[in-house]
Structure 1
């Protein structure tokens, strides 16, 4: 999905009144010529003939006016978006309004991560520029507004028993940087995105294998954030797939505590993205999928 952004449209339906058609006064050609010459009008046809001429003129004017109105309406609908036409609009599916996304510039001569010659699948762009921006209406965490963060701050999201093995795995995997952005939406949904960059794709995959047991034995089977130990991996099909990247999606099943947690790891070359959303009651599916998809596209 970049899928980028769908917001609710507000439609107003107006009543269009049929314009009153006023028929012009009909003057016979001979009378018009006489009047122009200042002469009395010549004897014309009967009153019935004049009435017929007047009726024809009125119908001709009406056809021209209504034809113009109809053509204008058709042209207007053709030029409008489907959601702007009353009766054809679709309700919002819950997606957030993200800014228009674009890939950051690369240093001169540097290749993209998945091009020939970049064996380490390295992202040469500034890691902070690869972070997904916060959507419209979000309150951004001033301590996590697209800057660098520490290893310990990143590990604080995990349970105390998981932090020591993960810290050792990070130390062994040539971790270079961690960038973070976090925000809260008006409905209470809290989101965070961490990007971890390693020395190469091999080191990134090594740490990913420490998190996800099914992909390499794992230090601890499928290490997930504190409070989401029972979360299960989900399959999203091709909806969020991006060439050369691999997302791993988790959802905390019922019964969960006071809030539900959704979680994703995205393996993309030398970088591992960690996306988290939580909300009191239930974390909505659509904005989570949208967030994961967009972040995945920025890394691919």
Structure 2
């Protein structure tokens, strides 16, 4: 028998039979696709959106600017909204003059005599825009003779004497002429108290309805266009026109306001005559300054 010898330990022993497969890594999981991105709008759509946005912003800005411009304009400056001229004159803004220290208003409870303590000249109605101011009646003081010249020649002497005998303090006056030829004169006669001013006011009336006629007039009649509601509670306002008009039309009014009597006169020497609207406007404004 043949002896078999053992192979050395470090000698490779051939392996017979099938070879097992080498171990393999576990199969990798399939990679997940990233979430699909939102589809981009076409470039034309983007430009359209941008254009419309810009247009809206521009129109909004123009609209706001237009509104701001209109609200800052006068009504007569806005096309289509201009107020039709009704004949009123353009007066400067009226303001009451400051009173001396501790002086009461003319109609306050502590002012029984109803004295206007403000400078009487500052209470005169100012001349409107476009007027030519009378150099003799420029808003300062005037005398009795100038005031009496507004009345008929037969009445001036008695009127002058009455004023000299009364407690008249002074007379302020202003006159002007408008481009259409309308002449206006305003006189403020201030007395020592309301008692004296009321006495003179009543003396001007021949009866309870009509006052002493002015110079070169056909006789006064109550102005049918005047409303008593246009006055103030503290004053008495009476407005007159002529019963007949001749070469000129004369309108006049009296305002009894505390210690002061105002006479307003407007005349115009043509067929159109003195217009009612500007005269009533002057009476209302002068009454507001005194009342």
Tell me which residue corresponds to 1:163. 156
Equivalent residue, structure 2, for 1:148: 141
Is 1:184 the counterpart of 2:177 in the alignment? Answer: yes
Question: Aligned partners of 2:246 and 2:144: how far apart in 1?
Answer: 27
1:235-276 CA-to-partner distances (Å, cap 9, x unmatched) read 5225531231111101124x4111111101110111100000
- In structure 2, the partner of 1:16 is none
Alignment of 1:75-154 (within 5 A): 75-154=68-147
> Match of 1:250?
240
Partners of 2:64 and 2:93 lie apart in 1 by 35
- 2:212 alignment counterpart: 223
Distance 2:98 2:72 in 1: 35
**Contact 2:218 / 2:245 at 8 angstroms: preserved in 1?**
no
Of 245, 258, 262, the residue aligned with 1:273 is 262
Q: In structure 2, the residue corresponding to 1:161 is in which secondary structure?
A: helix
Deviations 1:178-198 (A, max 9, x none): 111111111111111111111
Q: How has the CA–CA distance of structure 1 residues 260 and 49 changed in structure 2, closer, same or farther, with 3 Å as cutoff?
A: same
- CA gap of 1:72–1:130, structure 2 versus 1, over 3 A, is closer
Larger Rg: 2
Question: C-alpha root-mean-square deviation of aligned residues, in Å?
Answer: 2.4
The CA distance in 2 between the partners of 1:238 and 1:100, in whole Å, is: 24
How far residue 201 of structure 1 moved from its aligned partner, in angstroms, is: 0.8
Unaligned runs of 5+ in 2: 1-38
Provide closer, same or farther for how the CA distance between residues 80 and 203 of structure 1 changes in structure 2, counting only shifts above 3 A.
same
Q: CA deviation at 1:62?
A: 3.5
From 250, 253, 272, the counterpart of 1:261? 250
Q: 1:88 to 1:50 in 2, by over 3 A?
A: same
Q: Normalization by structure 2: what TM-score?
A: 0.77
Contact 1:223–1:229 (Cα < 8 Å) also in 2 = no
Structure-1 separation of matches of 2:149 and 2:285: 25
Which residue is 1:13 aligned to? none
**Contact 1:166–1:210 (CA under 8 A) maintained in structure 2:** no
1:197-229 Cα deviation digits (max 9, x unpaired): 11211111111111124449xxxx520211224
Answer 1 or 2: higher relative contact order, Cα 8 Å, separation at least 6: 1
Q: What SS does structure 2 have at the residue aligned with 1:179?
A: strand
Contact 2:217 2:250 in 1 (8 A): yes
Q: Counterpart of 1:264 in 2: which secondary structure?
A: strand
| CA-CA distance at 1:298 after TM superposition | 1.2
- The secondary structure found in structure 2 opposite 1:227 is coil
Q: Which runs of 5+ in 1 are unaligned?
A: 1-44
